[in-house]
Each structure stands twice: as structure tokens, then as C-alpha cells.
């Protein structure tokens, strides 16, 4: 019985930490979605399918395993560009900070 005393609170603590970690993960995505929304990305992109620009899941698929993609896409989001998906260019978003552009690029690449 001696053991059981310490075991239960420990299990409860572990369970709580797991729940908290899951909650933090779930919250991270809506935050990024809100930033993308605020930045106007969804006027040309949707999460999955092509609108004016490629769906974010398509972008993630295209650059899977490309270690330089976050850097390159962050730059392209800020400076604009064309040619990777077709002839329609993405306009520059110079009002975005480099940090936010990088966060958006990493978030887009994490969408599966």
C-alpha cells in the first residue's frame, strides 16, 4: 500500500501535463491561422485546395524534406514572386516582420 500512495498523484500529474501539452499544440495552429487571416493570406490561399495560389497543404507536400524551404518561402512571402506554381505572381507582403514571415512559412510547411 505504501507504493500506491505515491503512485496515484504521480499518474494524475503526468496525465495533467499530457493534457496541457496537447492543449498547447492545438492552440498553436489557430494562432497561426489567425495571423494568416489577419495578413490576408486567405484571400488567395485555402488550407487544402488551390484558389489563386496553391493550397497550403499542397505547398507542404511539394517541399517535404527540403531543409531550405522555410528560409526560401519566408523570403518569398515577404518579397513576392512567381514561377513555382504557375504564372500568377504572389504580391509582396513587406508589412510582415521577418519573424512573422518565417513563422508563417514554417506553419504552411507543417500542414499536411
**d(C-alpha 81, C-alpha 84), whole Å:** 8
Question: Residues 32, 75, 93, 111: which binds ligand HEC (CB under 6 A)?
Answer: 93
Closest approach of Cβ 112 to ligand HEC, in Å?
14
Closest by alpha carbon to 58, among 32, 86, 97?
A: 86
Question: Residues 12, 18, 28, 52: which binds ligand HEC (CB under 6 A)?
Answer: 52
Q: Tell me if 96 sits within 8 A of 77, measured CB to CB.
A: yes
C-alpha cell at 112: 499536411
**Residues engaged in binding ligand HEC (CB under 6 A):** 36, 39-41, 43-45, 52-54, 59, 73, 76-77, 81-86, 88, 90-91, 93, 96, 104-105, 108
Amino acid at each position: 500500500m505504501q507504493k500506491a500512495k505515491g503512485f496515484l498523484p504521480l499518474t494524475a500529474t503526468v496525465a495533467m501535463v499530457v493534457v496541457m501539452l496537447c492543449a498547447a499544440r492545438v492552440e498553436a495552429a489557430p494562432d497561426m491561422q489567425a495571423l494568416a487571416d489577419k495578413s490576408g493570406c486567405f484571400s488567395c490561399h485555402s488550407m487544402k485546395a488551390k484558389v489563386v495560389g496553391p493550397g497550403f497543404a499542397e505547398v507542404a507536400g511539394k517541399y517535404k524534406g527540403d531543409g531550405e524551404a522555410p528560409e526560401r518561402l519566408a523570403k518569398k512571402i515577404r518579397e513576392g514572386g512567381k514561377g513555382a506554381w504557375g504564372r500568377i505572381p504572389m504580391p509582396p507582403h513587406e508589412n510582415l516582420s521577418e519573424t512573422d514571415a518565417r513563422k508563417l512559412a514554417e506553419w504552411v510547411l507543417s500542414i499536411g
